[in-house]
Structure 1
């Protein structure tokens, strides 16, 4: 279940290590591509095309795996049945012998007035494409407006979340609007304001104090106002009210305040920790037969750190957990003992657009062009196909030579841009509904 970093790595290794006589492999995913999520801010800012970060599953596999185009909305581990809603809306039941759950995560939201209606996410390819259109539309509308209050609100953008997604999104889109301003004769570039808001006391604490401060200095030097220890109290169509009492006239709230495990994990009715499925060190789910979980949906013990530490929900861990689960599946099929998952974090990279970046590979702190080279080199090497690598590299070179473009495609122009609309968080069944569904299935024979 799931074609993110964890699921795809698992499938690729299973295809290589298992013969067709040993197992049939099915992959449930609504899209026939793996989204390279760390580069999504560059899609939103137009540096990369959407196709560049959508790595085709048909190219990256050996064509043995059956791809089921849909999403799992429930699992009954006793009946060993997954309930799948196909992209047509049809609900089908898929039995299994061994199940690998890698459904990933959804944007974490809170009970903030107006948030569900007015916040825009950055978790899917569609959200990134929509957000780019929306930001450029605000410039278009502000340039054409005769109303100074409307112009102010359209030129003020608020990003919530000081982690990687929020920081990179704010940095990349601020760079886009700064360059775009010269193409609008009636816009004063100094009136375009970007705010980055986070409840935490530090920006990206995972980087450490020095690099976190360096990233903060870069953002502030580019005119991005960073507010720490503050969150959003209320949102409506024309303003964002912060918990410190400030009211920001704005037509754009980008919500990247963390992630939560896919609602699919709640359908199993098993133990969770911080909303993620509890798993053993070998990534099996206790109390159920033949189920493995990994990636953002699983609370994987971090054996390299020790204690009660959990592996962070990063692409680095997800990819390695995918390979580890594949080996555990193979060991189970062959009557062997699965091995525990152990991986020491190799470092972090943060691309802030242009020549700006901070990185910490293998504990070495870098900033500026060396950090940018490491960040882009890491992302480029992690892409799964030569086609994807060629597209990304070509896009980077074209952007470096020709600069940004400001074309608005009109994507979902008249549709609501809510988190629920894009991430389908209301599609999942409850454990009781899953059991009723499978019971009815058995009654029908």
Structure 2
């Protein structure tokens, strides 16, 4: 260690940012107390979202506040800087940050110097130039989107139950999801399960009146759980009258009508877009080499190729897969949560080794498999070569993610909620007014017209 404290900057508060900083503060506890090392975490949000729980949050099985992990509490030994990085200059070892205050007042950006930088901006939704998508599409990557979608689905049931217009009713009861990966399948399955249950409280809506459509451009869903379990998930969902369109693309959703490449048209008030992710665009301004997909080129030890003192992992990183079989020098690790968490731990250990003058180790992994929920008490799983389906797979899904969610605090709260949910009936309350909390006050103050007044 040098006399000047080594400054480690972690740019991002997602999987890689949280797990890397958390392991660093544990491994460097003595150095942090002596002032030999400083750790700064920069993130636009003060929490990390545990995305595998978003479908259950949307269905009401988990409270929204338990899906997020507060960075300030978990990273108590680190300095937290709310803001988003806008560029990095590896030559001067500085990065520009637009802080929360800067966005509010239009102030100049803050310059932060670093000795070691962990680039972990993560990814954003991969969208396509589909007409109407920007106006009518709903994403599913944040807790706000998950709860907004829950409220929206329940509101569509309210609309359908209170109208005599058959066209409005049909559109309200048609739900279109684009993307057959984890996010799309789990979100559709959980919400379809919830909406079907909710129908018992709507005297004039039958569950079979609802139309749930899953659009997938390839010839299979859930490729992560393997071909055999993917086919089982397909049969399970189709057995619940979910209309799954394989080899099909969304061509337009203008005028609230989903137009598919097979020629079908579906008037709908709900279109959920979960068709993949792409690396965060800020990487283009970070002075690091990118591959053809916009990911940062990394060495096996998670250093950025050709850029000293910069590290990267997770969705934003193109990390060689040293365990690929057969061996392939061009093979890269998939951009998923399992790799992000494991890479974060290796990255933190390599940073500690570098600070102490020891060699860094390469990232290698053993595939643990994949689990997916298909609604309450239903699921598919492929864990260490074993296949599970139905109730056992659902239990494995919950056990796996309960073990992976950060902090004992969150594990205990989620487990308590699951236990209580098993003892009582589902909650089907819509709180759509949360999205416009000032609407009632604005109406009372005379700055907003009541829709009933025309």
Fold shared, TM-score > 0.5 on shorter chain:
yes
Larger Rg: 2
Moved more, 316-325 or 72-81: 72-81
The reply to whether residue 28 of structure 1 matches residue 42 of structure 2 is yes
What secondary structure is seen at the aligned counterpart in 1 of 2:435?
coil
**TM-score normalised to structure 1 length:** 0.90
Quote the residue 1:412 is aligned against.
435
Residue 76 of structure 1 pairs with residue 89 of structure 2:
yes
Q: Does 1:284 align with 2:294?
A: no
8 A contact 1:59–1:385 mirrored in 2: no
Partner SS for 1:365? strand
**Partner of residue 374, structure 1:** 396
Distance apart, 1:404 and its partner CA: 1.8
Moved over 4 A (4+): none
Contact 2:58 2:147 in 1 (8 A): yes
Aligned-residue Cα RMSD (Å) equals 1.6
Corresponding position of 2:65: 51
Identify the range of structure 1 (395-404 vs 305-314) with the bigger mean alpha-carbon deviation. 395-404
Alpha-carbon distance, 1:41 to partner: 0.8
Structure 1: how far apart are the matches of 2:241 and 2:192? 9
Contact residue 133 and residue 411 of structure 1 kept, 8 A: no
Return 5+ residue gaps in structure 2 as ranges: 1-10, 439-454
Give, in angstroms, the shift of residue 215 of structure 1.
0.7
Match of 1:343 in 2: 365
**Number of matched pairs:** 414
1:171-202 superposed Cα distances (whole Å, 9 cap, x missing partner) = 00101110111111222322111111110111
Matching residue of 1:434:
none
Q: Which residue of 1 aligns with 2:243?
A: 225
Distance, in Å, in 2 between the alignment partners of 1:277 and 1:60 is: 27
Are the aligned partners of 1:145 and 1:151 in contact in 2 as well (CA < 8 Å)? yes
Tell me if the contact between 1:218 and 1:356 (Cα under 8 Å) persists in the aligned partners: no
**Among 164, 169, 172, the residue aligned to 1:151:** 169
2:315 is aligned with 1:296: yes
Question: Does residue 139 in structure 1 map to residue 169 in structure 2?
Answer: no
- 2:278 alignment partner, SS class: strand
Structure 2 equivalent of residue 6 of structure 1: 16
Give the secondary-structure state (helix, strand or coil) at the position aligned to 2:38: coil
Deviations 1:322-374 (A, max 9, x none): 11111221222222221111112111000112111011110100111211111
Q: C-alpha distance in 1, partners of 2:405/2:223?
A: 27
Offset of residue 287 of structure 1: 2.3
In the TM superposition, residue 383 of structure 1 has moved relative to its aligned partner by 1.8
2:95 maps to 1:95: no
Instruction: Summarize deviations over 1:281-304 as a string: whole Å, max 9, x none.
Output: 111112222110100000111111
What are the equivalent positions in structure 2 for 1:97-246 lying under 5 Å apart?
A: 97-246=115-264
Distance 1:79 1:113 in 2: 43
TM-score by length of 2: 0.88
Contact 1:45 1:176 in 2 (8 A): yes
**Structure with greater contact order relative to length (CA < 8 Å, sep ≥ 6):** 1
Q: CA deviation at 1:141?
A: 1.3
Deviations 1:21-40 (A, max 9, x none): 33100001122222111111
How far 1:414 moved relative to its partner? 9.1
Unaligned runs of 5+ in 1: 416-445
Is 1:383 the counterpart of 2:405? The answer is yes
CA-to-aligned-CA distance 1:52-110 (integer Å, 9 cap, x gap): 1112223433x210011122222222232222222331532211111001111111101
Secondary structure at the counterpart of residue 271 of structure 2: strand
**Could you tell me how far apart the structure 2 residues matched to 1:87 and 1:221 are?**
48
- Range with bigger deviation, 281-290 or 399-408: 399-408
- What is aligned with 1:37? 51
Q: Distance in 1 between matches of 2:321 and 2:152?
A: 40
Cα distance in structure 1, aligned partners of 2:436 and 2:210: 22
Structure 2: distance between partners of 1:393 and 1:368: 20
Kept in 1, the 8 Å contact 2:138–2:272? The answer is yes
In structure 2, C-alpha distance between the alignment counterparts of 1:184 and 1:329, rounded to whole Å? 57
Following the alignment from structure 1 to structure 2, what is the Cα–Cα distance between the partners of residues 235 and 211?
A: 31
C-alpha distance in 2, partners of 1:405/1:383?
Answer: 24
Q: Deviations over 1:234-291 (max 9, x none)?
A: 0124211011111011011100001101112111243222221111111111222211
- Distance, in Å, in 1 between the alignment partners of 2:255 and 2:43 is 34
